[in-house]
Amino acid sequence: MSKYKLPRGIVISGTGLWTPPESISNQELVAAYNAHAALYNRKYSAEIEAGEMAPKLESSAEFIEKASGIKSRYVVAREGILDPERMRPYLPERADNELCLQAEMGLAAAKLALEKAGKTPEDIDMVIVGASYLQRAYPAIAIEIQAALGVEGFAFDMEVACSSATFSLQRAVDAVASGSARAVLVVNPELASPQIDFTDRDSHFIFGDVAVASVVERRESCTADTAWEVLGTKAQTVFSNNIRSNFGYTARAADVDPFGPGKLFRQNGRRVFKEVCPMAAAHIEAHVRETGSEPAEVRRYWLHQANINMNNLIAKKLMGDGANAERAPIVLDRYANTGCAGSVIAFNLHSDDLQPGDRGVICSFGAGYSIGSLVLEKISL
C-alpha cells in the first residue's frame, strides 16, 4: 500500500509560550499534601486502626524528583492547592460574556506566536485548539479565541490527551497542504490543575498549567527570517486503560460523585513506562527514516515532557551514546508534565540555536495510547 507523501514547502513559522505567573515547588506541594494526610489520618483514625481503611502515606520532594525529574510546576492559582483542607485550585466562575480562563490562556500564547511569525489575524483562516482537558463542551474554545482575535474562517477543538498538540499540528499541516487554509493557528492551552487529585500521593505532583501556540503556513507566505519546514507527520493510536480520566457528564445519570474515586487523572505508571517507551522509540525511528535520515543524525528531539526517565531511555534508544540533554532537552523539571504542550515548550525554548539544514523531531506520547510526531528541518528565508 502506497503511503501519502507530504508536499514540501509547509512550515512552522512561529511559536508562542505563555507561562503562568505563579509556581509551586516540590517542597511547597509536599508540605500541603503531608498536612492533608495528617488531617485525613486523624479523621479516620478509628477506621484505620480497625483495618477498614488504609492510612495516607507521607510524600517527599526527593521522592518526586527521583520518580519524575520534576522540581516545580506553574499553575494559574496557587492558594487553594496549598490549603490542606481544600487541595484544589480556586478558580472563580466567569460570566458567559467574559472570556473563559482557557481561552484567555490560549489567547496570550496565540498573540506571541503571531508576533513571532509576523502574522496578523487577517492572515489566519483556521484556528485549532488541542488540549488534554477542555473547560467546557461548547461553544468551542477555539471559536472563542477566533472571535477574540478577529479571525475570519473557522475553528474547532480536538482532544487526544497528551498528543493533542502534535495531532492538531498535523491537522494544520494537512489543511495548508490541501489548500483549505492559507495559514493555521494551533493553540494548546493546558489547564490541568483542576483535574489533578492533589490528595493522591502517586499523582499529585505530575501536572502544571501552561499555554503554547504555533503558526503553520506555506513557505511562500512566510515573512520570518527562519522557519521550520515540515518534512513529515505521523500519528498512531493503540487503546489502553493504563492512563485514564473518567470525569464526565454521564456521572449525573449514574448517580455517582463526578469527582469521586477514579474520576480524575490516574495511571498505572509502571505499565505506561514499560509499554510506551518502546512504542515511542519505534515510532520515531520509523518516521525519521521515512523522511530520509537516521535517528542518530537528527540534531534535536523535542520529546513529550512527562517523565525524565522515559525521555532519557527513548533518547538513548534513538541516539545511543550521543544522547544528552542538549540533543533531547528537558523542561519538565520546572514546568512538570503540561499535557500536550510539553514537546512544543521544548521546541519553543530550544530551537533558535540550531542552524539551517539541521533536523529535529517534535514527538508526544500519552493516553490512548497516542503518539504523534513531526520531522522538521530549519530553513533560512
Indicate which residue of 100, 162, 222, 340 is catalytic.
162
Q: Hey, is 115 helix, strand or coil?
A: helix
**pLDDT tens digits, one per residue of 228-285:** 999 999 999 999 988 888 888 888 888 888 888 778 888 888 888 889 999 999 999 9
Helices (H), the chain: 26-43, 45-49, 61-68, 101-117, 141-149, 164-178, 251-254, 269-290, 308-319, 332-335, 342-349
Which among 199, 206, 245, 259 has a CA at the least distance from the CA of 24? Answer: 206
**pLDDT tens digits, one per residue of 37-59:** 999 999 999 999 999 999 999 99
DSSP class per residue in 285-315: HHHHHHTT--GGG-SEEEE--S-HHHHHHHH
340: Cβ contacts below 8 Å, ≥ 6 apart: 130, 131, 132, 160, 161, 162, 163, 164, 165, 166, 188, 190, 364, 366
Distances from the Cα of 106 to the Cαs of 22, 109, 214, 322, 350, in angstroms?
17, 5, 11, 36, 21
User: What is the reported pLDDT for 263?
Assistant: 83
User: What is the reported pLDDT for 1?
Assistant: 32
**In angstroms, how far apart are the furthest CA atoms of the chain?**
72
Q: Is 363 a catalytic residue?
A: no
If DSSP states are collapsed to H, E and C, what string results for 196-210?
A: CCCCCCCCCCCECCE
Per-residue pLDDT of the chain (381 residues; tens, 9 = 90+): 345 677 789 999 999 999 999 999 999 999 999 999 999 999 999 999 999 999 999 999 999 999 999 999 999 999 899 999 999 999 999 999 999 999 999 999 999 999 999 999 999 999 999 999 999 999 999 999 999 999 999 999 999 999 999 999 999 999 999 999 999 999 999 999 999 999 999 999 999 999 999 999 999 999 999 999 999 999 999 999 888 888 888 888 888 888 887 788 888 888 888 899 999 999 999 999 999 999 999 999 999 999 999 999 999 999 999 899 999 999 999 999 999 999 999 999 999 999 999 999 999 998 989 999 999 999 998
Do 205 and 99 meet the contact criterion of CB atoms below 8 Å apart? no
Task: Give 257's DSSP letter.
Answer: -
User: What is the reported pLDDT for 4?
Assistant: 60
Note the Cα 312 to chain centre separation in Å: 18
Task: Give 99's DSSP letter.
Answer: P
User: What is the reported pLDDT for 2?
Assistant: 42
List, in sequence order, every residue forming a beta bridge with 303; answer none if it has no partner: 363
Do 318 and 296 meet the contact criterion of CB atoms below 8 Å apart? yes
Angle at 87 between CA 81 and CA 93, to 5 degrees: 70
Which grid cell is 72? 516545580
**pTM of the predicted protein model:** 0.95
Do 160 and 370 meet the contact criterion of CB atoms below 8 Å apart? yes
Residues 105 and 90: their CA atoms lie apart, in Å, by 16
Task: Give 249's DSSP letter.
Answer: T
Which among 231, 335, 235 has a CA at the least distance from the CA of 280? Answer: 235
Q: Hey, is 37 helix, strand or coil?
A: helix
Label residue 3 exposed, middle or buried (CB < 10 Å: 0-12, 13-18, 19+): exposed
